[in-house]
Amino acid sequence: MRKMILDDHGDTVAPFSYEGGAVRVVNGTLVAEDCQFTDNVGLYGGAVDVGVNGFARFERCVFVGNVAASQNADDKYKAGGAVRFDGGDGVITDCTFRANHGAEGAAVHVANGATVRFERTVFVDNEDPSSTGGGANHLRADDAGTRASLFDCAFTTTNAAKRGGEMYAGVGSTIELSPYTSALEAQSSGPGLFVLWSEPPPPSPPPPPSPP
């Protein structure tokens, strides 16, 4: 899809009850170019959820004000404020994630063995509202075999109380960074691996064909 605006999507009868407030990808492919995802709500993946055998490619897209949450006041905010990759892979190029809200990856959560590449993407003021301190947690990777690779990306948090720990790598997961700077290293946390992405990224691969 190209030049589409998806805003205020989600279940209005039982809010925050579905995965992917605007789009859910399972056993298929999503390609979004020059699109805007704004103020969508979902249980996991406030705007988009990419499940097992799914693939999503976002180019020049903007994600603003999306929320991943449940109706449970004691455990409200969930994974992937804007996008969750739960076993499905993806490529995110020249995108912006701003003011999204979620607990595990306020902007993006990568898990369940997914591989996602980020190129020239900016994360600004994404936040876990349930956290009273610590990092903004814009990006989080979890589970064995999960890999998030970042090339020429940037993280900005204007709320001083939320600075630090902008990226989190859980046990068994890896976050690759290029360039691997001391500033980016200072923004990382978690028991997973943070390593230099030693080779320049090849051209973004085409999405796999959708199954019949």
Tell me if 162 sits within 8 A of 141, measured CB to CB: no
Token look-up 């897209």 returns 61
* CA 64-68-71 angle, 5° bins: 135
Strands 89-93 and 5-7: unpaired
Nearest to 58 by CA among 105, 18, 107: 107
CA atoms within 13 A on the CB side of 76: 11
Task: Name the nearest CA neighbour of 165 among 195, 199, 127.
Answer: 127
- pTM of the model as a whole: 0.86
The tens-digit pLDDT sequence of the chain (212 residues) is 999 999 988 765 555 557 888 999 999 999 999 999 999 999 899 999 999 999 999 999 999 999 998 777 666 788 899 999 999 999 999 999 999 999 889 999 999 999 999 999 999 999 888 765 545 589 999 999 999 999 989 888 777 566 556 888 888 999 988 877 666 766 677 777 777 766 655 555 555 655 55
